[in-house]
Amino acid sequence: MAIKAKKLQPAKVEAIAEVKSVLEGYNDFIFAEYRGLTVAQITDLRKQLRAKNCEFKVVKNNFARVAFDELKVENVADYLSGPTAIALAKEDSNEVAKIMFDFAKEVPALVVKGAYIEKTVYDQTKIEAYSKLPSKMQLYTMFACALNSTTQKLAATLQAVVDKKNAEGAN
């Protein structure tokens, strides 16, 4: 639970409001510990995540707890301890998770703690399994290919019937 002071300081209220305004624009959050990463490594990770329309933000844990409470995002306070960065995704969160786990293989200092995706909290093992699933676009492509394959087989079968009828009519 967030620690609230008896006397609110205007600077902290502004900082919390700023964190809240950033978080409001995103649906999914992946929490990671970044202790031990160099600035160059964080910059590289941010560049990879930006390609998927995702941001990687380091926020003060207490401010993030209060902001998540105000946004009614529950059960994420456990992931807001220690040096925490949040990957903010609007869509394709499994691709974002995949990028983060691939990066963590190269740079073991990055530790994915958990996630909040589509109003569900994922622990480390669940988010890792989620990252291995195909993305929505890949699923759409697979469905379209399967549908196209069936349609092609039907068209070929109908064409074969027409060709057979034409051949019988010519004899």
Cα separation, 118 vs 156, whole angstroms: 42
pLDDT over threshold 70, residue 5:
no
- For the chain, the average pLDDT equals 85
Residue 150, both tokens: 């069936």
The separation between the first and the last C-alpha atoms of the chain, rounded to the nearest angstrom, is: 86
Continuous segment of H or E residues that includes residue 30: strand 28-33
pLDDT, greater one: 5 or 160: 160
Summarize pLDDT for 28-78 with one digit per residue, the tens.
999 999 999 999 999 999 999 999 889 999 989 888 998 888 888 888 888
Q: What pLDDT does residue 1 have?
A: 47
Question: What residues contact residue 25 under an 8 Å CB cut-off, 6+ apart?
Answer: 88, 90
